[in-house]
Structures are given as structure tokens and as C-alpha cells.
Amino acid sequence: MAMRNTYLLGGATAASQSEGGFGEGGKGLSTQDLRYLDPTWDPEQIEEKHQHDPFSKREFDAALKDPGTTYYPLRRGVEFYHHYKEDISLMAEMGLQIFRTSISWSRIFPNGDDDTPNEAGIQYYHDVFEECQKHGIKVLATMVHYDIPVHLVTKYGGWKSRQIIAFFERYATVLYQRLGDVVDYWLPFNEINAAKFSPWDGACLIPGTESNMDQAIFQSLHHQFLCSARAVQLGRKLVPNEPVGAMIARFTTYPATCKPEDNMQAIQDDQYSNWFYLDVLARGYYPTYMKRYFNLLNVHVHQEAGDAALLRDGTVGFVAFSYYFSQVSTNQKNWAKTAGNLIMTKKNPYLKASEWGWQIDPVGLRVSLNQLYDRYHLPIVVAENGLGAHDQLEADGSVHDPYRIAYLKAHLDQLDLAVADGVDLLAYTMWGVIDLVSCGPLTMDKRYGVVYVDRDNAGHGSDKRYKKDSFYWYRDRIKQHCQQT
């Protein structure tokens, strides 16, 4: 296989966390619009809540009845909808080579099952991506980054229902036909394994309403796998030059000790939390190791004639992952725990953690890149990576964030080492390039960007953008990267 000699450096965001424009331009209500900041929320419990999926039946019902008086941070994001020209020009000033963002399904089909798309929504995304094109920035578009039209959940049951496949096909077809001229790469799903750990975000399942949540999760996932395979098939026909990929949240997994039992545990944790999802989408079939796991959880995935053939045919052209931390595996009781994105994990005594407890492990990025390339032999995109931190906006408009610079430098250095190892790296898009609302805690003060947005947790602020020190550092790093290749 011919190897590329360079990779693209860029930034990433998601519609539901940055776009705003709530109800504007014909947008329908999305599942992420229903999540609100709980007034009884305790910052000390933030990660604990995150692990148990902060969304519940009570919140679902309350939000549907009262979509107005409570503060819903994701409805506003950072109003990228109104700031996109300014934001893209900041990205261009940094020399960003690629921008990953998502399209909100409810902006294209407000209810999800509409016969015709919302022209204003299509126009909006076309304008955004065209603006990127003007600046020479490539576009990686995610079709579903957790949010789908609420109507698909209330009327059909969301991903759990097989009916959603036809609606998704219609959505993907419109995206390819109408936005194919301004998009370069496609991802049908953000972090497809999120369904397992955060059922509302990943599968639009309401905790507390399922008698066997695992059954509902894996049935929903089966439908998502079929949608992904259809997206690949449709892409081949409608946008043949635009690769379609698959993405997971990657938890690099180490055995806690060299005890054989710990090593076996690490193999299984890796299979159940990470490999299964990419194995189906990149290899085209359910791996045999899942039989044990499904038996354990009493899960019976209903499959129909033709499903296996569709999965076999619809394998992806690249694999992508988000990377924020590494996990430790052991069946030893009482091993200290810490948080990670989507899961609680065990502590690694050799690593420091972020303010939110996520273990910082740049070498783990190189480990995962090597593992993924060995396993799939497909080009790889690091679709998210970054440091959530409290930043201080100074009176002169500066933000000094040496911790973020150190984090980015350490991870980017490992990327270069992985490329030297022989990994076929297509792109790296750092997470939250422009500050956005965090997905777990739903706050603004867990900031990821190299651009600061003046907005607080309660939604107050001017939305003015300020360049952090890391903005200049990333600009120089990209320049150096381009000169070297």
C-alpha cells in the first residue's frame, strides 16, 4: 500500500456544542437540545454524574414540557452559527489544514422523517464549508455527533428502531448530493462506542426506561452499524473521491501488572470497549469474542437477512478515534479509580491527570496509533485530542495557557514518532479548537480551545473571541510541520 508522506493538522468541534442558532433557519429540536444544567449540580460530583449519563427520564419529560425557561447550554453553544466567518478566519490565520465538525441532522431534516430537506439548513452548511474551502481548509464532516431530531425518538424510539435506517439513508443521501462539493472526508458517527457508556448521547436511549439496557444498546448499535455500511455504499456511488470512515473513543489499555490475569483482563477490556466497534465497521463482521460478552449480558442482537452481507460490503476507508487518556486493566479489587471521557477507569501510578482526573498519556497515543494500524491497515485520523482546563482571561485580552501548549506538544511529538514507526496517519484534529460547551458537564469553564470565547457557565458573556498563547504556538507548529513535508 502506498504511504502518504505527510498528514494534515487541524481542529475539531461538534454542532451541538458550538453551533447555537437554536430554532433559527428552520432547525428542529435535537436530542442534545434537551440536556440542561441541573441547578442541583455539584462540581465535586461532576465526573461521577457523567459516568451515569446525566440524562434521565425525568429530565427528558421536563425538557419536552418546558423547552424555554431553563438554561440549555447546548442550544447556544458558542453561536458558531453567527460567528463562523470570524472563526474560520481565525483557523486560517493559524494555518489549519483541516476542520472537523458535525452537521446537525435536525437542521437538515427538522423532524428526521420529513419528505424534503430544509433548504436553509443545507445552505448554512454549504456556506460554512465553502468558507473553509476559500481558505484552503479541508473539511471532515461528521453526520451524527450525538444529536438526532427528537421526533425520531418520541415517534419511533430512536436508534433502537430499525425504521431509523431509512431516515438515515435519506439524510446521508442529501448530504452527499448537496454538500459533496465542499466536503473532503465523511464520518457517519462520532465515537460509535459511546452508545455503550453514555446511552443517551450515543444511542438516544433514556436511562431508566429499558428493562435490559444492554440489549437496547447493542440493538441500537446494530442499526448504527448498518447505517454506517449504507453510508459507505452510498458514498461510493455519490461522492467516490471522498473517503468515509468510522470512529471510536479510544481508551489505550494497559495491564496493571505483568500478571497473566491482568493481561487477559486488558485484552477483554480492549475488545469490549474499543475493538468490537471498529472490527465490525472495518473488517465487516461481528467478531467471535463478542459471543462470550453477549451471553454475559443476556444480549441477543436481532439481525435480518442481508445484514451480514451489507456489513461485509460496507467497510470503511479510514479509521478515526478520539484520544484523551489511557486505562489500566486488572481484576484486582480496590485498585484506585479515576475519570476518563465516557468511562471511569483505574489509576496508573506513572501518569499525571487533568483537573478532571483524565490521565494524560502522550505515549499512549503512539501505542494506539500502532495498534490500530497493525489491526486494520487503513489510514488513521486522530479526530479529537486536547486538554480541558480552566483558563484565565486577563485584562489585556491575553490567556496564558502553558499547560495546553505542553499537552499539545507532547502529543504531537508522539504523532511524529508513530509516523516514523510506519503508521499511515491522515490527519490530526485537536478538540475544541475554538472553546465550546463541554459535553459531559455541560459547562463552559472546561475549555479546550486555542481561542477563548467570552461566555460563562450560566451563559453570560459577550461571545467575543480571544487568542490564547496556545493559538500562536499551534500556528507556529503547523508552519513548521508544513515546511518539513
**Interface ranges with ligand BG6 (CB under 6 A):** 14, 17, 190-191, 249, 322, 341-342, 384, 388, 431, 438-440, 446
Residue matched to cell numbers 443476556 = 298
Q: What is the dihedral sign for C-alpha 451, 455, 456, 457?
A: negative
Residue closest to 380 by CA, chosen among 340, 338, 331, 429 = 429
Closest CB to ligand BG6 among residues 102, 315: 102
Closest CB to ligand BG6 among residues 201, 262: 201
Let me know if 384 is a catalytic residue: yes
Cα distances from 134 to residues 69, 130, 138, 230, in angstroms, run 40, 6, 10, 31
Enumerate residues 6+ apart whose C-beta is below 8 A from 195.
Answer: 159, 202, 203, 205, 217, 220, 221, 224
Q: How far is CA 482 from the centre of its chain?
A: 26
The 8-class DSSP code of residue 163 comes to T
d(Cα 255, Cα 126) in Å, to the nearest integer? 46
d(Cα 51, Cα 342) in Å, to the nearest integer? 6
Residue closest to 74 by CA, chosen among 13, 143, 155 = 13
For 271, counting Cβ atoms within 10 Å of its Cβ (0-12 exposed, 13-18 middle, 19+ buried), the class is middle
Note whether 236 and 313 are within 8 A (CB): no
Note whether 74 and 150 are within 8 A (CB): no
Q: How many residues does the chain have?
A: 485
Minimum Å gap between C-beta 164 and ligand BG6 is 21
Minimum Å gap between C-beta 440 and ligand BG6 is 3
- CB closest to ligand BG6, residue no: 440
Closest CB to ligand BG6 among residues 31, 438: 438
Closest CB to ligand BG6 among residues 13, 97: 13
Minimum Å gap between C-beta 438 and ligand BG6 is 3
Closest CB to ligand BG6 among residues 184, 191: 191
Q: What is the dihedral sign for C-alpha 336, 195, 407, 78?
A: negative
Minimum Å gap between C-beta 249 and ligand BG6 is 5
Minimum Å gap between C-beta 358 and ligand BG6 is 8
Note whether 391 and 452 are within 8 A (CB): yes
Minimum Å gap between C-beta 428 and ligand BG6 is 15
Closest CB to ligand BG6 among residues 117, 449: 449
Minimum Å gap between C-beta 198 and ligand BG6 is 8
Q: Pairing state of beta strands 318-329 and 380-384?
A: parallel
Closest CB to ligand BG6 among residues 74, 153: 74
Minimum Å gap between C-beta 216 and ligand BG6 is 21
Residue type, 361: D
Closest CB to ligand BG6 among residues 265, 429: 429
Minimum Å gap between C-beta 191 and ligand BG6 is 5
Closest CB to ligand BG6 among residues 234, 408: 408
**3-class SS of residue 11:** strand
Cα distances from 151 to residues 116, 164, 176, in angstroms, run 15, 11, 23
Let me know if 48 is a catalytic residue: no
Residue closest to 158 by CA, chosen among 220, 65, 107, 222 = 220
Catalytic residue among 19, 47, 191, 242: 191
Residue closest to 244 by CA, chosen among 299, 307, 185, 286 = 185
Grid coordinates belonging to 56: 434521565
Note whether 443 and 457 are within 8 A (CB): yes
- The terminus-to-terminus CA distance of the chain in angstroms comes to 20
Q: What is the dihedral sign for C-alpha 248, 97, 417, 376?
A: positive
Residue 428 pairs with which residues in a beta bridge?
Answer: 9, 382
Q: Catalytic residue numbers?
A: 191, 384
